[in-house]
Chain A
Amino acid sequence: MSVDKDTVMRVARLARIAIPEDRVLPMAEELNRILAWVEQLNSVDTSGVEPLTSVVKMDLKRRADKVTDGGYAGDLMANAPLSEDNFFAVPKVVE
């Protein structure tokens, strides 16, 4: 499984990170080195082994159906790069 330039571009697109043209190939090489290194896992026999789902053995915590939160739109907007009338504002999304 070798990562080529197209794969880097596809993955970067999925991750929404712009990669400048001249960084694509070096990034492919970096990723390939790391992936080649982690491929040592293939030598572990994991047949019949369940993937780990959680390290702590406990029941999932549950909350009562009560309204205990919200009502502070102003606080939420305080850190927003752009907001109007308590809406977060983003470049127009075309559907």
Chain B
Amino acid sequence: MSAGEGRNGAVIEGTTGPWEIVIGIEVHAQVSSRAKLFSGAATAFGAEPNSQVSLVDAAMPGMLPVINEYCVEQAVRTGLGLKAQINRVSVFDRKNYFYPDLPAGYQISQYKSPIVGEGEILIDMPGGETIRVGIERLHLEQDAGKSLHDQHPSLSYVDLNRAGVALMEIVSRPDMRSAEEAAAYVRKLRAILRYLGTCDGNMEQGSMRADVNVSVRRPGAPYGTRCEIKNVNSLRFIQQAVEYEARRQVDVIEAGGTIRQETRLFDSRKGETRSMRSKEEAHDYRYFPDPDLLPLELDLAFIETIRASLPELPDAKRARFMRDFGLSAYDAGVMVSEKETADYFEAVSKGRDAKAAANWIMGDLFAHLNKAGLEISASPVSADNLGRMLDLIADGTISGRIAKDVFVIMVETGGDPARIVDERGLRQVTDSSAIEAAVDAVIAENAAKVEELKTKPTMLGWFVGQVMKKTGGKANPQAVNEVLKAKLAHVLGG
């Protein structure tokens, strides 16, 4: 395992030598609460404009915030899931700035005393390396509303439905060194949040957004000046944005320029980042403790109750899958990458060959789901049915080869594998006379190949294939093998 310092990440080869990319990420994760952080208005996605707005959210005169206890609980839960320090006392501050989608003229956030302090996330890279990314803090804050700029030639429209929705801002250390690591970090964080149930991780709907801080430096040199790419909303875009931005910075520096610290946005259509002119004005947020709220104090019992209710998280689950099921590190990592996948795997593998289960899931099932663009939760093949199919293979009812066909039918029909096998007559042939007949026929038809077999015993596999073909794949390959060996013993010199 390695932390950010002194590790070799991806290197950009510039015209003047190699450059190292340094990445830190702030993720805004929407707490999956029914009501907002400081008001009783709903948080559901896609409602009519300003229909989920309370007087508090609209910052009407005299309105006051009262905190949603569930959001506090979820922040603590997330902190514990990130193996982080939970701060027994935290403070809500006002971050003051004017913007039409910020009705009060300030955002309630946590500045000096966040609810959660330092923690960490481990990410497993495909190469087998495990990287530790430090978590600097997690704090609770309000989301802003939404301004629509394209509805009218001279007006912007303001919808406050999102205003006041609870966000957890999770700030990493600058411990990532490549675009892949950045995407892997967000993927892992999202998995942890989903395991915990504290955020649905839905990036398309904006429940999770990443602000990506990118800088470049000579390997081992002090940090360079960073640029912050705001609100990147997919894993692929994070990767593209980092790649583009790092390259841009190297080009600027190598052309004799300097990097200016600024906020940039990622244009996903063009695949590039560009400066946000309106944000260039120097900010002075005038943070101070919100006098409408008291410090948030957590008692130990509250924290311990939450700790006791934590589910098994990806890292622990992965270790267990390796230990109990003998999965490889890579396979186990894939199986735990999403809670739904892990649950599916556990359902399929229960009392069965876990490796076979993992192979079917990672192979045929994922191939199908990817092609169809489906989440595993929407898989047409239920864990139950896939498990029963494995049983049919194990008890010799079907061969592995036939199972592939059965699986395709299961994908199409969602049907029960035993029924599919019965209805379509796919039951494996174990009757030795039928196999013997097929073997005899193949030997008779391929005298030349039989000759070859004398000098090349590995040719036997070819004969097995031919027999299988002749039986429509239904013969038991084990039995075919045995019969072939017996009938060809004279050639094989056994």
Interface residues of A (CB under 8 A from B): 14, 16, 53-54, 56, 58-71, 73, 76-77, 82, 84-95
Asked if B471 is at the interface of the complex by the 8 Å CB criterion, the answer is no
B148 near A: Cβ within 8 Å?
Answer: yes
Segment of B22-30, B34-42, B122-130, B215-223 in the binding face: B34-42
B72 at the interface (CB under 8 A from A): yes
Beta-carbon contact of B35 and A89 below 8 Å? no
Assuming A53-B289, A60-B67, A89-B158, is B40 touching A70 (CB within 8 A)?
yes
Min CB distance A17 to B, Å, is: 11
Cβ–Cβ < 8 Å partners of B284 in chain A? 14
Cα A63 to Cα B39 with chains together (Å): 9
With A70-B42, A87-B148, A92-B154 as contacts: A65 and B58 at CB distance below 8 Å:
no
Q: Which residue of B lies closest to A13 (CB)?
A: B281
- In B71-100, the 8 Å CB interface with A consists of 71-72, 91, 98-100
Partner of B149, one of A61, A73, A95: A95
Contact call B157/A88, Cβ cutoff below 8 A: yes
- Once the chains are docked, how many angstroms separate the CA of A45 from the CA of B68? 39
- The minimal Cβ–Cβ distance linking A52 to chain B, given in whole angstroms, is 10
Q: Provide 5 A-B residue pairs closer than 8 Å at the C-beta atoms, listed in order of the A residue.
A: A62-B72, A71-B52, A85-B157, A88-B100, A92-B152
The verdict on B278 contacting chain A, using a C-beta distance below 8 Å, is yes
**Lowest 10 CB-CB distances: which A-B pairs, in order?**
A68-B40, A65-B70, A69-B40, A87-B157, A70-B41, A62-B69, A69-B54, A73-B50, A88-B158, A67-B42
What interface size band does chain B fall in?
35 or more
Q: Give the CA-CA distance A56 to B294 in the complex, in Å.
A: 9
Say whether B53 contacts A76, CB under 8 Å: yes
Q: Does any Cβ of A come within 8 Å of B478's Cβ?
A: no
Contacts of B33 in A (CB 8 A): 65
Q: If A53-B294, A59-B297, A60-B293 touch, does A87 touch B158 (CB 8 Å cutoff)?
A: yes
Contact with A along B285-311 (1 / 0, CB 8 A): 010010101111100000000000000
Query: What residues of B have a CB within 8 angstroms of the CB of A69 in the complex?
Result: 35, 39-41, 54-56
CB pair A92 B40 closer than 8 Å: no
Best-surrounded residue of B35, B50, B52 (most CB of chain A within 10 A): B50
Q: How far is the CB of B44 from chain A (nearest CB, A)?
A: 9
- Give chain B residues whose Cβ lies under 8 Å from the Cβ of A76: 50, 53, 55, 58, 160
C-alpha gap A63/B381 in the complex (Å):
42
- Taking A66-B34, A73-B51, A86-B50 as given, write out 9 further A-B residue pairs in contact, using a Cβ cutoff of 8 Å, ordered by the A residue number: A54-B295, A59-B294, A65-B33, A69-B54, A69-B56, A70-B40, A87-B148, A90-B100, A93-B149
Given the known inter-chain contacts A16-B98, A95-B278, please indicate yes or no for A90 contacting B35, CB distance below 8 A.
Answer: no
Is the C-beta of B66 less than 8 angstroms from some C-beta in chain A? yes
**A65 & B148 in contact (Cβ 8 Å cutoff):** no
A77 B70 Cβ-Cβ under 8 A:
no
User: Is the Cβ of A87 less than 8 Å from the Cβ of B49?
Assistant: yes
Nearest-CB residue, chain B, relative to A71: B51
Q: Is the CB of A67 within 8 A of B34?
A: yes
A40–B437 alpha-carbon span in the complex (Å): 110
Q: Tell me which residues across on chain A come within 8 A of B158, comparing CB atoms.
A: 87-90
Q: Say how far B404's CB is from chain A's closest CB, in angstroms.
A: 48
A92 surroundings in chain B (CB, below 8 A): 149, 152-156
With A14-B286, A76-B53, A85-B49 known to touch, is A94 a contact of B278 (CB < 8 Å)?
A: yes
On chain B, the residues within 8 Å of A67 by CB distance are 34-35, 40-42
Q: With A and B bound together, what is the CA distance between A87 and B50 in angstroms?
A: 7
Q: CA–CA, A86 to B148, complex, Å?
A: 13
B68, B152, B156, B286, most chain A CB atoms within 10 A = B156
Asked whether A91 and B156 contact (CB < 8 A) given A62-B69, A69-B41, A86-B49, the answer is yes
The distance in angstroms between the C-alpha atoms of A91 and B155, with both chains bound, is 5
- Chain B nearest CB, measured from A78 CB (Å): 11
Q: Which chain A residues border B291 with CB–CB below 8 Å?
A: 54
Task: Judge whether A63 and B278 touch: CB under 8 Å.
Answer: no
B159 at the A/B interface (Cβ < 8 Å)? yes
A80 to B42, CA, bound (A): 22
